[in-house]
Amino acid sequence: MKTRVTELLGIEYPIIQGGMAWVAEHNLAAAVSEAGGLGLIGGASAPGEVIRDEIRKARALTNKPFGVNIMLMSPYADEVAKVVVEEGVKVVTTGAGNPGKYMEMWKNAGIKVIPVVASVALARMMEKGGADAVVAEGTESGGHIGDQTTMSLVPQVVDAVSIPVIAAGGIADGRGIAAAFMLGAEAVQMGTRFVVAKESIAHQNYKDRIIKAKDIDTAVTGRSHGHPVRGLRNKMTREYIKLEQEGKSFEELEYLTMGSLRNAVMEGDIMTGTVMAGQIAGMVKKEQTCKEMIDEMMAETEKLLGRK
Ligand SMILES: Cc1cc2nc3c(=O)[nH]c(=O)nc-3n(C[C@H](O)[C@H](O)[C@H](O)COP(=O)(O)O)c2cc1C
């Protein structure tokens, strides 16, 4: 399936694995790229040298292109921005801000830059700033979210920019991919489904929680603070939302989320940890290899789009 995105990134299938903090390390990224999609290493708040090591480990596992997601609010964003250039990474996706100050350095290095956006205004701004494509991410997604649904955001972004649009949020099978294409997207980015991949290092408790999730099992914490995060309901989200409703500030509640994603992903603490996952978790029912997932989804997509 060729689209402007597969051409731009030199990949076989229009499927990108989201650069998920803690989850998206070299094993997952390399497995997705090996299967024909684009794997991403999640830069999160890790120092430059940690990401350098991850890039090298991924390269040892695959010759295919993979990328790095850089969280612009990370205290190490400057370092990681340089590391991707030094290590010859081909694709960078960015979250939580405007990558403007790195654009010239990345462009000179031939890096394809793909910011994640949750609004038309931001998509336009990124196109003006030289982005090669944008990920339009709907509020159904796991992790940090915006307000708009994928269904309404994607076609509006597609109409507003001429660079290719990648749809994210609530996509976990061929139906979702085909629907995203109908909205004008030229690729999809998925997070939640890849968390349960066999190659994902997420703790078994985390994977099982996603596999057991129902459609209504996610909750959003931090809405009143302007930092909304979607994850699966647990003791932590109930406590957080209760205190938020009582008017507690972001700073007062930070103790509840400090290190909490790491604790869930690495230690399997799904009660007081942050179990980031999207609304589509209710449809993710089994652990599979990345190749099994991608082959299955692409066959379904092509059938639905009448290409096979
Ligand atoms: C566990 C988890 C961690 C995430 N961490 C990040 C992150 O660090 N940076 C980022 O840009 N997106 C992050 N995301 C969002 C994903 O990259 C992706 O856009 C999103 O999961 C797509 O929606 P879906 O979960 O419905 O597939 C995360 C998502 C999950 C589930």
Both tokens assigned to 146: 């915006």
Q: Is 195 exposed, middle or buried (0-12, 13-18, 19+ CB in 10 A)?
A: buried
H helix intervals, 89-141: 100-108, 120-128
User: Ligand 1: which of 141, 150, 211, 257 to mutate, judged by most atoms within 8 Å of the beta carbon?
Assistant: 141
Q: Which long-range contacts (CB under 8 A, 24 or more apart) does 109-118 make?
A: 109/84, 109/85, 111/84, 111/85, 112/8, 112/9, 112/67, 114/67, 114/166, 116/168, 116/189, 117/157, 118/145, 118/146, 118/147, 118/148, 118/153
User: Ligand 1: which of 38, 192, 270 to mutate, judged by most atoms within 8 Å of the beta carbon?
Assistant: 192
Residue 307 has pLDDT above 90, yes or no: no
pTM (2 d.p.): 0.97
Looking at residue 61, its amino acid is: L
Residue 193 has pLDDT above 80, yes or no: yes
203: left (phi over 0), alpha (psi -120 to 50) or beta: beta
Tell me: the pLDDT tens digits for 262-295? 999 999 999 999 999 999 999 999 999 999 999 9
Dihedral sign, Cα of residue 256, residue 231, residue 74, residue 225: negative
Both tokens assigned to 156: 């509006």
Secondary structure class of 104 (helix, strand, coil): helix
> Above pLDDT 70, what percent of the chain?
100
Q: H or E element: which one contains 301?
A: helix 290-304
Tell me: the pLDDT tens digits for 90-103? 999 999 788 999 99
Atom 8, ligand 1: residue with shortest CA distance? 21
pLDDT tier at 166, thresholds 50, 70, 90 = very high
pLDDT at 308: 63
pLDDT at 7: 97
- Strands 15-17 and 187-190 come out as parallel
Measured in Å, residue 169 CA sits from the centre of ligand 1 at 8
Q: Is the CB of 18 under 6 A from ligand 1?
A: yes
Tell me: the pLDDT tens digits for 108-141? 999 999 999 999 999 999 999 999 999 999 999 9
What whole-number distance in Å separates Cα of residue 58 and Cα of residue 120?
33
Q: Is the CB of 95 under 6 A from ligand 1?
A: yes
Residue 32 has pLDDT above 90, yes or no: yes
Cα torsion 187, 40, 81, 274 to 10°: value is 110
What whole-number distance in Å separates Cα of residue 261 and Cα of residue 22?
8
